[in-house]
Amino acid sequence: MGYFFLSKIEIVPAFIQAFMLATIVTICIALAITFFWKISMHMIGIGGLTGALLALSLRFDLDIWIAFSCVLLISGLLGSSRLYLKAHTPLQVHAGFALGSSIVFFGVLV
């Protein structure tokens, strides 16, 4: 419903609508995956942020290497903490980051 109402507001930039739609798609895919296999939702979220920053940087030709580097560092720390707490396996952490970053990246870039 949030995406529906957001799409009705004409002053909202298209990349924000694309980000919202990509996030919804990612959540739906993650929901389907969790019925069969455990995947790191934390890494899906931080991967989505990483993918969005990279896509915005490429789409608008922005130099945001400091922000991108900080997000990558936080991603590594978050993934490490999930492994340290034995909440996930390395494959679950990597799959979560890959899912979040790829879907949001392509959703915002296009």
pLDDT in tens, 18-39: 999 999 999 999 999 999 999 9
Q: Residue 5 is encoded by which pair of tokens?
A: 């109402």
Give the pLDDT band of residue 73 (cuts 50, 70, 90). very high
Checking if the pLDDT of 99 tops 90, the result is yes
Residue 13 has pLDDT above 90, yes or no: no
Q: How confident is the model at residue 76 (pLDDT cuts 50, 70, 90)?
A: very high
> Tokens representing 29?
């895919």
pLDDT at 68: 95
- Closest to 50 measured CA to CA, from 110, 1, 98, 83: 98
How many C-beta atoms surround the C-beta of residue 23 within 10 A? Answer: 21
CB 108 within 8 A of CB 52: yes
What's the CA gap between 20 and 16, in Å, rounded? 6
- Looking at residue 104, its pLDDT comes to 97
pTM over 0.75: yes
Read off the amino acid at residue 33: I
pLDDT value of position 9: 82
The pLDDT value recorded for residue 7 is 79
